[in-house]
């Protein structure tokens, strides 16, 4: 289409060829010249009104789009009106709310923050180890007095206010664990998962220049990309071919390992938190022959502690005895226990010892201590009588128990009698009324001893077993977490290697990279490429070429 304009003439005509395009009633053109004097600048303008049918017109029931375009040979005047841009959906308060999670994720996934959280957790755990846990307030009043503070400022107020007497269930420790867990999850979501998604994609490189830009690159002048793929498959690579391009990788599990490490750490922290806030603990010292109920001993440690039906189990101490070294020192102590249900029926029986606990119905009974309960004697052929043995305070960890057998008038203000001391259950030392050493007897020896006219036979030494009872629902989770942590840590050392290749005529361009063992990767690649067979022209083809020449 041509438009002829001649402004020198007073009458201007618009010449439009008659074609089938412009016969349509959809296009209408109007030309309106305005002549000026010779001393003024001319302005040429015309208006074009167009009605265009689009693909949407079929669905808009005949609605047309009308636009007017003004053409002029002078620049338009600048408008003083402000241009109002319609805000996107992300503007305003709504956009701030939508951007807030991203900012929070970026903050939580910050590596220095996560390292700092781990140091804080380690420091609190060390502090919880240094400060005795679970003691009565009076204990901390005496050990951390205000008159003589530790390090010049640390007193019992710090311990009780911050909950350092129950560190592993205190808000400050649990809050730090929660923050560390959030950081691990944010790092996994923002960093590790995208890396795995990228690593799983099959990416083919289509140019030799892109292959040469890899960490390792080489070319094989006379080789086949298929032979290279077979050799890579034999070396444990996953190989993919697409036309003249090849992509291979191995060690993708190494990319998943960091996610597994994070999940394992989350399991450990979750199990530890459940142990600190959902367990039951208790200790009891029971003489031989007596019973106790599990629920009467166990006490909750946190707000998640929930009792079970097995807490109604009754425990009967059948027998307590000890093993000794040749020197007479105690080497091991044992307790024969029977577990009884609510109907009095024995459901389990076991002899436990140190490092050999009893487990039943979610609770565990540990052998931790022992005591001397009573001394059974026969006095002048009468009895037996049970004399209670009392622990005597000694310096150090040695134990000493004693009892007293009155002789004569027991109502007298100055009662005299026979004293009996014992360090263990195998020998009893006797003293007369003046406190002088008189002799030693072994229980069950049936050998009498006469002191100040009183004949005594030591029948038996009745011991008491010291038991610790505990329920810990977080132990399986912690064990699973540590197992997963060891496994995923080993897997994380696997190298994720990627290889690209391109067949260009008889030349194969090869490149690759790895995330670990970068010094060994080139040697491995050279060994693989040395195994690729070289393409050699056959003698028949050479003869054909010579004849053709």
Tokens of 489: 């840590």
User: Quick check: 372 pLDDT over 60?
Assistant: yes
Non-local (6+) Cβ contacts of 237 within 8 A are 248, 249, 250, 497, 499
Q: What whole-number distance in Å separates Cα of residue 460 and Cα of residue 374?
A: 9
Dump the DSSP string for 107-164: HHT-HHHHHHHHHHHHHHHHHHHHSPPS--HHHHHHHS-SSS-BTTTB-HHHHHHHTG
Residue 515 pLDDT exceeds 70? yes
**pLDDT, mean of residues 376-388:** 89
Q: Is the pLDDT of residue 210 over 50?
A: yes
CATH topology of domain 210-251+495-536: TATA-Binding Protein (3.30.310)
Q: How far is Cα 237 from Cα 458, in angstroms, rounded to an integer?
A: 80
pLDDT exceeds cutoff 50 at 36: no
For the stretch 309-321, pLDDT in tens is: 999 999 999 999 9
Q: pLDDT confidence of 53, banded at 50, 70, 90?
A: very low
Q: 513 Cβ partners below 8 Å, 6+ apart?
A: 214, 215, 216, 497, 498, 521
pLDDT confidence band for 381 (50 / 70 / 90):
confident
* Mean pLDDT, rounded, of the chain: 80
pLDDT higher than threshold 60 for residue 416:
yes
DSSP letter (8 states) at residue 195: H
pLDDT digits (tens, 9 = 90+) for 121-152: 999 999 999 998 888 899 999 999 988 888 88
How far is Cα 230 from Cα 208, in angstroms, rounded to an integer? 21
Residue 417: both structure tokens together:
């009698």
Among 278, 290, 363, CA closest to 320: 290
pLDDT for 478: 94
Threshold 0.75, pTM exceeds: no
H or E element that contains 266: helix 253-277
Residue range 205-221: mean pLDDT, rounded:
92
Of residues 267 and 444, more confidence is placed in 267
Task: Give me the sign of the Cα torsion angle 141, 147, 152, 153.
Answer: positive
502 in Cβ contact with 244 (< 8 Å): yes
Q: Give the side-chain half-sphere CA count within 13 A for 501.
A: 34
pLDDT reported for residue 63: 42
Q: Is the pLDDT of residue 391 over 70?
A: yes
- pLDDT over threshold 80, residue 349: yes
pLDDT surpasses 80 at 433:
yes
**Hey, is 202 helix, strand or coil?**
coil
Residue appearing with tokens 């990416």: 203
Q: How far apart are CA 258 and CA 360, in angstroms?
A: 37
CA distance 290 to 313: 14
- Classify residue 91 by its DSSP letter: S
Structure confidence by residue, pLDDT tens digits, 157-190: 999 998 888 888 888 999 999 999 999 999 888 8
Q: What pLDDT, on the 0 to 100 scale, is given for residue 97? A: 54
* Closest among 466, 136, 475, 472 to 300, alpha carbons compared: 472
| Distance, CA of 119 to CA of 180 (rounded, Å) | 10
Give, in degrees to the nearest 5, the angle at Cα 292 between 288 and 296.
Answer: 150
Annotated domain spans of the chain? 100-191, 210-251+495-536, 288-408+415-465
The predicted pLDDT at position 2 comes to 39
């Amino acid at each position: 289409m041509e438009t002829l304009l001649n402004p020198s003439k007073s009458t201007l005509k618009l010449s439009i060829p008659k074609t089938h395009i412009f016969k349509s009633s959809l296009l209408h053109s109007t030309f309106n010249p305005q002549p000026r004097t010779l001393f003024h600048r001319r302005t040429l303008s015309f208006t074009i009104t167009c009605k265009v049918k689009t693909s949407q017109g079929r669905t808009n029931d005949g609605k047309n789009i009308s636009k007017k375009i003004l053409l002029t040979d002078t620049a338009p005047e600048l408008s003083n009106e402000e241009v109002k841009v319609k805000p996107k959906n992300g503007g305003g308060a709504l956009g701030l709310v939508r951007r807030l999670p991203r900012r929070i994720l970026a903050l939580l996934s910050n590596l220095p923050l996560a390292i700092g959280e781990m140091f804080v957790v380690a420091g609190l755990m060390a502090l919880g180890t240094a400060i005795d846990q679970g003691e009565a307030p009076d204990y901390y009043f005496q050990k951390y007095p205000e008159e003589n503070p530790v390090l010049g400022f640390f007193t019992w107020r710090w311990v009780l206010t911050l909950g350092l007497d129950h560190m592993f269930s205190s808000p400050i420790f649990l809050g730090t664990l929660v923050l560390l867990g959030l950081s691990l999850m944010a790092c996994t979501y923002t960093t590790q998962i995208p890396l795995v998604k990228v690593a799983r994609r099959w990416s083919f490189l289509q140019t030799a220049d892109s292959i040469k830009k890899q960490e390792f690159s080489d070319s094989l002048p006379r080789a086949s990309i298929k032979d290279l793929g077979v050799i890579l498959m034999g070396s444990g690579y996953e190989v993919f071919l697409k036309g003249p391009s090849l992509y291979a990788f191995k060690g993708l599990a190494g990319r998943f390992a960091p996610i597994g490490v994070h999940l394992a750490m989350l399991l450990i922290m979750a199990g530890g938190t459940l142990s600190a806030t959902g367990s039951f603990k208790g200790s009891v010292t029971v003489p031989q022959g007596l019973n106790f109920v599990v629920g009467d001993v166990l006490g909750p440690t946190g707000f998640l502690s929930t009792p079970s039906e097995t807490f109604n189990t009754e425990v009967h101490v059948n027998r307590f005895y000890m093993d000794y070294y040749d020197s007479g020192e105690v080497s091991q102590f044992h307790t024969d226990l029977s577990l009884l249900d609510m109907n009095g029926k024995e459901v389990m029986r076991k002899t436990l010892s140190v490092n050999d606990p009893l487990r039943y119905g979610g609770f565990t009974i540990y052998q931790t201590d022992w005591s001397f309960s009573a001394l059974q004697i026969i006095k002048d052929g009468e009895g037996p009588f049970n004399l209670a043995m009392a622990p005597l305070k000694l310096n150090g960890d040695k134990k000493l128990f004693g009892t007293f057998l009155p002789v004569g008038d027991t109502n007298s203000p100055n009662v005299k009698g026979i004293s009996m001391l014992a360090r263990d259950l195998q020998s009893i030392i006797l003293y007369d009324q003046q406190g002088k050493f008189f002799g030693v007897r072994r229980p069950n020896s049936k050998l009498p001893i006469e002191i100040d006219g009183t004949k005594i036979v030591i029948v038996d030494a009745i011991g008491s077993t010291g038991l610790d009872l505990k329920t810990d629902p977080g132990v399986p989770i912690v064990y699973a977490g540590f197992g997963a942590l060891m496994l995923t840590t080993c897997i994380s050392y696997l190298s994720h290697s990627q290889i690209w290749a391109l067949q260009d005529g008889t030349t194969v361009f090869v490149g690759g990279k790895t995330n670990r063992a970068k010094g060994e990767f080139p040697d491995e690649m050279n060994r693989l490429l040395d195994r690729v067979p070289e393409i050699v022209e056959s003698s028949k083809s050479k003869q054909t070429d010579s004849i053709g020449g």
